[in-house]
Structure 1
Amino acid sequence: MNGSQATGGFVLCFCRLQDGNQLYAFPCDACGNVDMDSLSERARHNYLYARALMGLQVGWPAVQSIS
């Protein structure tokens, strides 16, 4: 996981389009909302980077339960 460690019950996962491998995962709520204020600076940068590359290098994110 290249985002931050998940502390809740869900993570928002971004996978590489090329092979489907997970690149990034960020703690989120059940609807996929990420609290950017709770992310570290590096995780926030990775989150914004992943969002910018949706459809280009990474697929649309998916919410996954971690419980």
Structure 2
Amino acid sequence: MNTVTMSLSEAGAYELRFQSLFNEGRALAFPCDADGHVDMDALSERARGNYLYARAVVGREYATPAVQRCH
């Protein structure tokens, strides 16, 4: 697992979004760079746990994540 350091301008510009396969209104999203790299050191302990869980259940509970620009 790689940890990437992001510039402040990149940190809030994109999110890595894991959409639920079973509930259209449910998703988990994490700040990332344009390439989808999440700085795990910048996440809270709870967010880090959610991120690792979402990655582990891709294809079973969540769809393959997508990089999206934040609004």
Q: How high is the TM-score relative to the length of structure 1? A: 0.83
Query: Residue deviations 1:32-64, cap 9 Å, x none?
Result: 000000000000000000000100010000001
Q: Which residue of 1 aligns with 2:53?
A: 49
| Structure 1 gap segments, 5+ residues each | 1-6
- Letter of the structure 2 residue corresponding to residue 49 of structure 1: Y
Bigger mean CA deviation after superposition, 15-24 or 36-45: 15-24
Q: Which residue of 2 aligns with 1:4?
A: none
Instruction: Describe the SS at the equivalent of 2:61.
Output: coil
Higher helix share: 2
Instruction: Describe the SS at the equivalent of 1:42.
Output: helix
Structure 1 vs Structure 2 CA RMSD: 1.3
- Letter of the structure 2 residue corresponding to residue 20 of structure 1: E
Count residues with an aligned counterpart. 61
The Cα shift of 1:19 comes to: 3.5
For 2:67 and 2:22, how far apart are their aligned partners in 1?
A: 20
Question: Runs of at least 4 residues of structure 1 off by over 2 A?
Answer: 19-22
Q: Which residue of 2 aligns with 1:18?
A: 22
Contact 1:13 1:22 in 2 (8 A): no
Q: How high is the TM-score relative to the length of structure 2? A: 0.79
